[in-house]
Chains A and B, each alone.
Chain A
Amino acid sequence: MRLKSYLALLPVLALGACSSGDYRLFHPANLIAAQEWHATIVDTVVMLLIILPVLFMIALFAWRYRKGANAAHDPEWSHNTLLELLVWGVPFLVVAALGIYSIKTIYAVEPYNPGLFQKQVAADPQSVVNVDVIATDWQWVFVYPDQKIATIDDLVVPKGSVVKLHLTSTSVSNDIYVPQLLPMIAVMPGMRTIDTFDTPDVGSYTGFGADFSGAGFSWMQFATKIVTPAQFQDWVQKVASSPNELSYAAFQKVAQPQVNMGAKISYFSNPDPQLFHKVIAAAQAGVVYPVSDALTKSIASDEK
């Protein structure tokens, strides 16, 4: 009885989910997110194939063998070799099937070099756009080494490309995430990780830090835009004309702990060509950007 009423909740949720664009994971915007969403569905369906009958069985037994129902009662029955083989065998088969599927999909969506794009990248190496991403407390710095520009909290990429993000952090660990587009990957100081995504259509998204990084963490959003190649060129021109240059000294000011309320965008021209490597080397050499006690305590409570 009780189980049934809970079960009734699930389809209602699912229905509500399908009809609304708010359920961003249900609406993947590129190949990699689609593959991951597909894996979610496959896994759920396979698991439900075993869980639903078990739920049904439990509900049936719970109802049928309740005290007072005068159903058959066998107070000794507690062993059946065939059944016990089955209770090990059925979960084993499900796990075997999902395990094989899991391994296959790992290679397809492997963040460093997804199997999904290997052909495209081999055929057209020019379609790869490299972006160096540096997480600070508490902003995102995007450096385009080939375009010689940099931004704060603004990730703009051309349609039809494969975007390769090289990620590190100045201070603490974080996790980068753009639902519908970019799978999560850890961002760690003194280390470099890579995350890859494709851009089949133009669109606007919001990305953010997903792993807690201190008091300003909730404000770590960044705009993510996929634009046409022509628009991308225009945008690069615009950023490149910024009078602000991102030398290492200028970067060190940006990297001081600060909350960027409303994720305001800044543009820089001529970033230090070695900036990304300098940040990693500095972190490895023990450079930290300490967060003062006063800053963590007063953030957002004193500022307006």
Chain B
Amino acid sequence: MHLQFPGPWSPLLGRLTLNAIPYTNPILQGTFVGAAVIALLVVGSVLYFKKVGYFWREWLTSVDHKKIGVMYIVIGLVMLFRGFVDGLMMRTQQVMANGPHASGVLGSMHGFLPPYHFDQVYSAHGTIMILFAATPILTGFQNIVVPLQIGARDMAFPYMNALSLWLTTAGAVLVMISLFVGDFSAAGWVGLIPLTELPYSPGVGVDYWMWAIQISSIGTTLNAINMIVTIVKMRAPGMTWFRLPIFSWTTLSTNIIGLTAFPVLGVALALLGADRYLGTHFFTAGMGGNLMLYTNLFWIWGHPEVYFLILPVFGILSEVVPTFCEKPLFGYVTMVAATFAIAGVSWLVWLHHFFTMGAGPDINGFFSIATMLVGIPTGVKVFNWAFTMYRARITYTVPMMWAMFGLFLLLAGGLTGMMLAIPAVNYTVHDSVFVIAHFHCMVLLVVAAAFAGVTYWFPKLFGFKLSEAWGKVFFWLFSSGTVVVFAAMFALGFQGETRRLDWTYNTAWMPMLLVEEFGMLLYCLSLAAFAIMLVVSIRDRAKNRAGADPWGTSRTLEWLTPSPVPFYNFAMTPQVNTRDELAWRRKHGLENAKPDHYEAIHMPSNSGLPVIIGGLSAVWGFAMIWRIWWLAAISILAIIVCVIIRSFDKNEGYHLQPGEIEAMERDLATGMITSEQPDRSHNNAIHAEAH
């Protein structure tokens, strides 16, 4: 059971000792104080305002797709902030540690971070941004918007939806714990092999990385199943496939990718875990192992993952652009075809992540062509958005500005992506920061669409609009920061700077490194603008009250519901007559039509089990990381017990009676908010209600 790893091990605490807590590191001391203050403020105010019960009832145990979506996005934004701070540290280190004569502070030879710390920072940055920021934020939008867009009450499996959320959260919690207990991986977010094997990464860092991803990706896989079933089975009457809004189409395609790709990652990480815990040789260089097998498996997940992120982003753009153009999306059918073409090709391109592996020209040629093929449907999409703007009436609201900036990033990323798809070009920039700049064009397109989505759908959920003025300040600061940082990074790529350098030895890079740092300053300012935007918007919420359709030109079904959406979504399941249903109803003066009668609505009951299972998963991950076997055994047993309890749970939800619905709808009409469920104990559960 015990492999050779350095340091002590005890049956009670495993590898955990007091030395694992980096209390001597001033950077982490500061971080800890900051995190502790924020945590105390949050917990303290919840206790002070006596909201513990409210949080437990309305949020932690909620199976409501909208609340789960909001929690996904909140977690994503918190992790986005963490990942940004990592990025800021990397940029600052590279400026400070430039040239052979750069001095060092805080015990580093150059800059302020010793290599081991810097390597953890960039590994955490990538892991967090892709898996714990972008993925939860986009999953959150899908959770919130898709059921509303297709006229459903909730997701197909509300309980599993909550479980997905809390498994993702468990992964994020493990990543955060690694800040203060032990180390994070120093082997890149991709898990560079065989650097992640025990002889080269003897600490717990790789284990943190591995288990955090493993646990959260189970959540993502479950969520993918849920999304697919919801879209296939739960569309409102009349919502034929070719009336399905584009965002729901992209959600369907992206979750087909998610369902098929994430298990590959799970297997790759499990085999790596076997190497590290059991002494097998799947991915070692020797003893019959094959390290390139890991690299292939990782990117067989990793490249579809890129489209897993980008397709919903295309969906968001396809919702925002027509709304503010006051026109239907140009080329709906080609848009759907392009979406599925991208999803299909996404499986055939993984090898372009390692053209320099030494594969022959035939193999590289195949993957070069396959990669370029992605450019065709992507080009179609850009053209379609452009033609949507033809003869439009464009309002430049904040979401529309983000969408326009997203288009610009897509073109910049596309131009450089086509360069990287040519092996002859790739050989000169493969591991340079040119590649970093390229894929940041793409992931910042994700961020731009995320902010477009946040501003666009915020009033739907909270009943008031975000401040347009501060939203614009935030937009301009963030987008100029992006252009400055990554234009300079492209330049550095042409200067021959490679990735992941904790010491930038070439003094010729200094000017562009400084430009990058200036861009980071703009990002920091944008962060302040974002915070002000939130505060101002909440302060002025009475002034910015939103009706069912706060933008006035929305086109899809989610805008038919009152804002904020009542927990039961639609009082009566809508009958869908056409594509862009709301635009059609508005044209025929039907958008405010009320149903003449109500029918009982079957609602799922809340459950505390998902959050408990999520918590136990985090404990189990922690125990595995530190090799505390007794704790791992207990927590996995407890999870199994929870699952058994759930399978004997006869509570199948409750019925909302027509009278109740009518009363709540009356309240809504007078401006009251009905997002909280009526209090129901288990006695009211469905079988008892049959009378």
Verify if A189 is at the interface (C-beta below 8 Å from B): yes
Interface residues of B in 87-145 (CB under 8 A from A): 100, 107-110, 114-116, 119
Q: How far is the CB of B580 from chain A (nearest CB, A)?
A: 9
- Find chain A residues with CB under 8 A from B387 CB: 80, 83, 87
Does B195 contact A214, Cβ atoms closer than 8 Å?
A: yes
Chain A hits for B384, CB < 8 A:
87
With A13-B487, A219-B503, A284-B286 known as contacts, the answer to whether A74 contacts B195 (CB < 8 A) is: no
Scan B195-227; emit 1 where CB is below 8 A from any A CB, else 0.
100011011000000000000000000000000
- Closest Cβ of chain A to B63, distance in Å, is 37
A202 at interface (Cβ–Cβ under 8 A)? no
Check if B202 sits within 8 Å of A108, measured CB to CB: no
Neighbour of B285 across the interface among A24, A72, A284, CB < 8 A: A284
Q: Given A25-B429, A62-B394, answer yes or no on A88-B422 (Cβ-Cβ < 8 Å).
A: no
- Are the CB atoms of B375 and A210 closer together than 8 Å? no
- In the complex, the answer to whether A47 meets B188 with C-beta atoms within 8 Å is no
Residue A212 at the chain B interface, CB threshold 8 Å: yes
CB of A250 within 8 A of chain B?
Answer: no
A99 contacts chain B at the CB level, 8 A cutoff: yes
C-alpha spacing A6/B490, complex, angstroms: 14
**Most A-side CB within 10 Å, residue of B357, B394, B404:** B394
Which residues of the other chain, A, contact B544 by a CB distance below 8 angstroms?
A: none
What's the least CB distance linking A232 to chain B, in Å? Answer: 25
Residue B267 lies at the interface, judged by CB distance under 8 Å to chain A: no
CA distance A276 to B340 in the complex (A): 48
Contact indicator per residue, chain B 460-496, by CB within 8 Å of chain A (1) or not (0): 0000000000000000000100010001001101111
Which residues of chain B from 410 to 432 have a CB within 8 Å of any chain A CB? 411, 414-415, 418-419, 421-425, 427-432
Q: Is B326 in the interface zone, CB < 8 Å from A?
A: yes
Kindly state whether residue B30 has any CB partner on chain A within 8 Å: no
Check: B46 CB closer than 8 A to any chain A CB.
Answer: no
Q: For the complex, give the distance between the alpha carbons of A179 and B431 in Å.
A: 12
A-B contact count (CB 8 A): 343
A50 in the interface (beta carbon within 8 A): yes
Q: Are B361 and A106 in contact, CB atoms less than 8 angstroms apart?
A: yes
When the two chains form the complex, which single residue of A6, A76, A80, A183 contacts B408, counting CB atoms closer than 8 Å?
A6
Scoring A residues 14 to 35 as 1 if CB is less than 8 Å from chain B, else 0, what string do you get? 0011000011111000000101
**Binary interface profile of B, 23-34, with partner A (CB < 8 Å = 1, else 0)?**
000000000000
Structural contact, B116 and A299, CB atoms closer than 8 A: yes
Q: Is B41 an interface residue (CB 8 A)?
A: no
Q: Does B428 lie within 8 Å of A175, measured CB to CB?
A: no
Does B364 have its Cβ within 8 Å of any Cβ on chain A? Answer: yes
The reply to whether A92 and B394 contact each other, CB–CB distance below 8 Å, is: no
Which residues of chain B have C-beta atoms less than 8 A from A119's C-beta? none
| Interface presence of B386 (CB below 8 A) | yes
**Cα separation A88 to B286 with both chains bound (whole Å):** 48
Give chain B nearest CB distance to A43 CB in angstroms.
5
A158-185 toward B: CB 8 Å interface, digit per residue (1/0)? 0000000000000111010101100111
Question: What is the minimal beta-carbon distance from A100 to any residue of chain B, in angstroms?
Answer: 9
- Find the A residue at minimum CB distance from B428: A36
Residues of A within 8 A of B286 (CB): 189-190, 282-288
User: Are B327 and A103 interface neighbours, CB within 8 A?
Assistant: no
| Chain A 250-286 interface 0/1 with B at a Cβ cutoff of 8 Å (1 = within) | 0000000000001000000000000000000011111
User: Is A193 in contact with chain B by the CB < 8 A criterion?
Assistant: yes
How far is A133 from B632 in the complex, measured between Cα atoms in Å? 45
Interface string of B387-419 (1 = CB under 8 A from A): 111111111100001001101100100110011
Q: Looking at the complex, which of B74-82, B158-166, B251-259, B365-373 is the stretch in contact with chain A?
A: B365-373
Q: What is the CA–CA distance of A300 and B431 in the complex, to the nearest angstrom?
A: 24
Contact check, A175 vs B430: say whether CB atoms are below 8 A apart.
yes
B372 touches which one: A25, A99, A172, A217 (CB < 8 A)?
A99
Q: Which candidate, A63-71, A144-152, A223-231, A238-246, is the interface stretch facing chain B?
A: A63-71
B192, A173: Cβ atoms closer than 8 Å: yes
Structural contact, B494 and A24, CB atoms closer than 8 A:
yes
B287 within 8 A of A: yes
A210 with B195: CB separation less than 8 A: no
Complex CA–CA separation, A105 to B627 (angstroms): 51
In the complex, A111 Cα to B509 Cα: how many Å? 28
CB–CB A102/B368 < 8 A:
yes
State the CA gap A206–B430 with chains docked (Å): 17
Complex Cα–Cα for A11 and B554 (A): 39
Also in contact, A186 and B356, with CB within 8 A (given A57-B386, A87-B379): yes
Q: How far is the CB of B393 from chain A (nearest CB, A)?
A: 5
Of B360, B382, B389, B498, which is within 8 A of A177 by CB?
B498
Known: A24-B496, A88-B334, A91-B376. A103 touches B369 (CB 8 A): yes
Is there an interface contact between A185 and B358, defined as CB atoms closer than 8 Å?
yes
The smallest C-beta distance from B372 to any residue of chain A, in angstroms, reads 5
Could you tell me if A212 and B500 are in contact, using CB atoms closer than 8 angstroms? yes
A124 to B187, CA, bound (A): 44
CB neighbours (8 Å) of A121 from chain B are none
B51, chain A: closest CB distance, angstroms: 42
What A residues does B419 contact at CB under 8 A?
40, 43-44, 47
Query: Is B383 part of the binding interface, using a Cβ–Cβ cutoff of 8 Å?
Result: yes
> What residues of A have a CB within 8 angstroms of the CB of B7 in the complex?
293
Q: For the complex, is B680 an interface residue (Cβ under 8 Å from A)?
A: no
Cα A217 to Cα B186 in complex, Å, equals: 12
B349 within 8 A of A: no
Nearest-CB distance from A289 to chain B (Å)?
8
Known: A67-B395, A87-B379, A293-B202. A111 touches B404 (CB 8 A): no
A172–B672 alpha-carbon span in the complex (Å):
63
Residues from chain B with Cβ under 8 Å of A72 in the complex:
391
B284 close to chain A: CB less than 8 A: yes
- Flag if B285 contacts A35 (CB, 8 Å): no
Q: Is the CB of B326 within 8 A of A107?
A: no
Q: How far is the CA of A51 from the CA of B383 in the complex (A)?
A: 10
Q: Closest Cβ of chain B: how far from A210's Cβ, in Å?
A: 4
Q: Which of A120-155 contact B (CB under 8 A)?
A: 137
Most buried by B among A23, A33, A103, A290: A103
Q: Shortest Cβ distance from B401 into chain A, in angstroms? A: 8
Knowing A194-B358, A215-B119 touch, does A92 contact B376 (C-beta < 8 A)?
yes
- Do A91 and B431 touch (CB < 8 A)? no
A51 contact from B392, B394, B415, B421, Cβ within 8 A: B415
Do A102 and B421 form a contact, CB below 8 Å, given A72-B391, A293-B202?
yes
Interface: B682 (CB within 8 A): no
If A67-B395, A79-B331 touch, does A214 touch B109 (CB 8 Å cutoff)?
no
Which of these, B372, B393, B429, contacts A98 with CB under 8 Å? B372
1/0 per position for B347-362, CB-CB distance to A under 8 A? 0000000101110110
Q: A65-B389, A91-B379, A175-B430 are in contact. Are A301 and B108 (CB under 8 A)?
A: yes
CB pair A102–B369 under 8 Å, yes or no, is yes
* Residues of A near any B CB (own CB < 8 A): 2-3, 6, 9-10, 13, 16-17, 22-26, 33, 35-37, 39-40, 43-44, 47-48, 50-51, 54-55, 57-58, 61-62, 65-67, 71-80, 83-84, 86-88, 90-92, 94-95, 98-99, 101-103, 105-112, 137, 171-173, 175, 177, 179-180, 183-186, 188-191, 193-194, 206, 208, 210-219, 221, 262, 282-294, 296-304
Q: Add 16 more A-B contacts to A184-B428, A212-B192, A297-B114 (CB < 8 A).
A: A10-B487, A17-B491, A39-B424, A44-B415, A62-B404, A73-B393, A74-B391, A78-B388, A88-B380, A92-B376, A102-B372, A102-B421, A103-B365, A189-B286, A215-B116, A282-B286
Q: List 6 A-B contacts (CB under 8 A).
A: A43-B425, A66-B394, A75-B327, A94-B375, A95-B372, A191-B292
- Kindly list the 7 A-B residue pairs having the minimum CB-CB distance in the complex, ordered from nearest: A91-B379, A286-B286, A183-B427, A179-B496, A189-B285, A210-B431, A105-B424
